[in-house]
Amino acid sequence: MTTQSTCNICNGNDFTEGPLGRLSLSGKKPTCTSCGSLERHRILRTAWSLISINHLRKKKALQFSSDPSVDKTWFRELEISTYGYKNSIDIQNIDRKDAHYDIVICNQILEHVADDKTAFAELMRILKPNGFLQMTVPNPIMRQTTEDWGYPKEDFHGHYRHYGLDLIEYFQAVTPSIYMICVKASDEITGTQDYVFFWTQNQETKEYLIDCFSGHLEIAHSI
């Protein structure tokens, strides 16, 4: 694909190496020197930019770990949980009532969690019936089958597992009456592609999201 030179988050045009000097798979420098975004943040921004701000501004949202992919001004309210700080929420035992949020955002988190099925069930529990969970994990586009070694592997950033695309069936089994759409989005700086997952228990919400993305992003998977 043809790459562009402007960050879709801050309009910056200067990029440097990623953590530990990493380059993208295409050999391009991935880190925006202005906002600090990486490929995954800009991929997420591409997807989020297709959801109407008029829709989002009515919503109460919870984000696990702040990142530049979303803007807090989009939402009526955005609560952020930061691991290790006073505002940290235990994702395996969320201290919030049922149906508390319209939107939950959980990016690059579940691979760090020992009991990811319990965490997923908790994420769905705190969503309103017509709400949605937006979720990503590292590079599921690169593998079909999840590799779970059952402990936090230090040489893989403390991950318990590498998710494959079979995560769809894996998490569907936790909440059988669930809908999901998976869109494929690209980072226009490096050409990197990956999947963004949206989960909901409401068919109308699923159809709304499909309408947002159709004609703009590939809907790679849907249940």
Mean pLDDT of 20-27: 92
Residues in Cβ contact with 100 at an 8 Å cutoff, skipping those fewer than 6 apart: 60, 62, 126, 128
On whether the CB atoms of residues 175 and 133 are closer than 8 A, the answer is no
CA proximity to 107, closest of 140, 59, 60, 74:
140
Q: Kindly indicate the confidence band of residue 2, based on its pLDDT and cuts at 50, 70 and 90.
A: low
Rounded distance, CA 200 to CA 180, Å? 6
- pLDDT at position 92 is 97
**Amino acid type, 177:** S
Tell me the C-alpha distance between 193 and 188, whole Å. Answer: 9
Amino acid (1-letter code) at residue 190: T
Entry pTM: 0.95
3-class SS at 185? Answer: strand
High-pLDDT (> 90) share of the chain, %: 89
The per-residue pLDDT for 154 is 82
Tell me what pLDDT residue 153 has.
84
pLDDT per residue over 180-201, tens digit each? 999 999 999 999 999 999 999 9
Domain boundaries, the chain: 15-222
Q: Tell me what pLDDT residue 3 has.
A: 61
- Worst-scoring range by mean pLDDT, 7-11, 21-25, 40-44? 21-25
CATH architecture entry for 15-222: 3-Layer(aba) Sandwich (3.40)
Give per-residue pLDDT as tens, 125-169. 999 999 999 999 999 999 999 999 988 888 778 899 999 999 999
**Could you tell me which of 23, 113, 13 has the C-alpha nearest to residue 64?**
113
